[in-house]
Amino acid sequence: MTIESRSMAALDPADLDARDALAFHRERYIIPQGVIYLDGNSLGPASHAALTGLETAAKEEWAEGLIRSWNTAGWFDLSLATGNRIAPLIGAAAGQVVVCDTVTLNLYKVLHAALAMQAGRRVIVAEAGSFPTDLYIAEGVASTLPGVTIRLVGRDADTFEELIDEQTAVVLINHVDYRTGLLQDMARVTARAHKAGALVVWDLCHSAGALPIALDECKADFAVGCTYKYLNGGPGAQAFVYAAGRHHDKLKQPLSGWWGHARPFEFETSYAPSPGMRMFLTGTQGILSLRALAGALDNWKDVDLQALRHKSLQLTQYFMDLVAEQCAGFGLECITPRQDKLRGSQVSLRFEHAYPAMQALIARGVIGDFRAPDIMRFGFTPLYIGFADVSRAVAILKDILQTEAWKDPAFSTRASVT
């Protein structure tokens, strides 16, 4: 159902919540009393299932099983098993996803792997507005390989199409822009890159768990993503890597740690990579964190991703429509696309005094976040956010703007994490 052509501002939030087919999921998550949590695109909340998984791992598998649990509790294969559980959430067949390390480390691995497959091509195409870690890692990879250069959309040209040519080895692109919420057309960009002979790495940090993704269908080559945002795996939860099965026999990644060895417990002196996705493992993985993530993924067994997307679009449009109606005249600018097909599951508002305004909101129980220099960012996670939450959040935002509560000096002191 596309509703972007008419305003939702006049709709009754209680009626919308009463007709919400996903409302029953909310009880699975732990949301503090009085909090409207609109920051699941930065850190998802705890769930009862995640805490149960963590407690079981700590009190039973670790405390009682000790080192035996590497075998008896399935710890040794947990990275692969958890990857297979994430696979259907990102449109991938089994055997193409592994959970390990961080997005930063995994991106380093796949960029090197992609470049190694592209003999004679030495250009990485990325976005000037990409999440910084993507750019930092691209620069780091380029610094280790003679002749590799980086072209950036938004700096060297306005579009990917202008920058992708016969010299392009790999295109690195964010599926959803972390600042604006712009959703890229995965099928179109991938096809364009492939037509020029380039490979594509998709950063799914702001789309995995927020909307349906079709990596296999779009013939994507690689993807990386985090599990602590919409997948609610917990702070610092391990990231994931996707590599299309058609590439597995050609893969070679540079972080040749013992956990990715074909025979790690033979303790051989030379490295022999494990076949398949296990080759992306480096060192011993954090089992407690993996168990918390595995618990969090239990909540996805009965989630209809199409219904998730439908509600996400409703929530974000409802928020934008209410802000447009109730907060006009205060200097807010919505920089998130209005078109459904161009929007992820967040709304970003540009405001000259964005930082203190967000701190004022947080003090009133509406938790979003700030992105420099002037963006208030709100994430809408359909599994635990309702329409009454949205209505109340906008009413509080309006009051803060009207009363200029954000001018309280306490709200202008910058914290380390914004």
Report field, pTM of the whole predicted structure over 0.85: yes
Supply the pLDDT for residue 1.
Answer: 38
CA–CA distance, 206 with 208 (Å, rounded to integer):
6
Residue 413 corresponds to which tokens in the numbers above? 């002191």
Supply the pLDDT for residue 148.
Answer: 96
Residue 116 corresponds to which tokens in the numbers above? 């190694």
Characterise 288 by phi-psi region: left (phi > 0), alpha (psi -120 to 50), beta (else). Answer: alpha
> For residue 354, how many other CB atoms are within 10 A of its CB?
22
Asked if residue 225 lies in contact with residue 91, where contact means CB atoms within 8 angstroms, the answer is no
Per-residue pLDDT tens, the chain, 418 aa: give them. 345 568 998 999 999 999 999 999 999 999 999 999 999 999 999 999 999 999 999 999 999 999 999 999 999 999 999 999 999 999 999 999 999 999 999 999 999 999 999 999 999 999 999 999 999 999 999 999 999 999 999 999 999 999 999 999 999 999 999 999 999 999 999 999 999 999 999 999 999 999 999 999 999 999 999 999 999 999 999 999 999 999 999 999 999 999 999 999 999 999 999 999 999 999 999 999 999 999 999 999 999 999 999 999 999 999 999 999 999 999 999 999 999 999 999 999 999 999 999 999 999 999 999 999 999 999 999 999 999 999 999 999 999 999 999 999 999 888 888 8
Asked if residue 175 lies in contact with residue 207, where contact means CB atoms within 8 angstroms, the answer is yes
Q: List, in sequence order, every residue forming a beta bridge with 161; answer none if it has no partner.
A: none
32 preceded by a cis bond (ω within 30 of 0): no
Q: What is the CA 170 to chain-centroid distance, rounded?
A: 20
CA–CA distance, 358 with 378 (Å, rounded to integer):
10
Residue 150 parent element (H or E): strand 149-153
CA dihedral 239, 243, 245, 246 (to 10 degrees): 180
Active-site residues, by number, are 131, 203, 228-229, 377
Characterise 191 by phi-psi region: left (phi > 0), alpha (psi -120 to 50), beta (else). Answer: alpha
Which domains are delineated in the chain?
A: 13-47+304-412 (3.90.1150.10), 51-298 (3.40.640.10)
Q: Please name the residues in contact with 208: beta carbons below 8 A apart, sequence gap of 6 or more.
A: 86, 89, 90, 225, 226, 227, 229, 230, 231, 240
Q: Please name the residues in contact with 62: beta carbons below 8 A apart, sequence gap of 6 or more.
A: 69, 287, 288
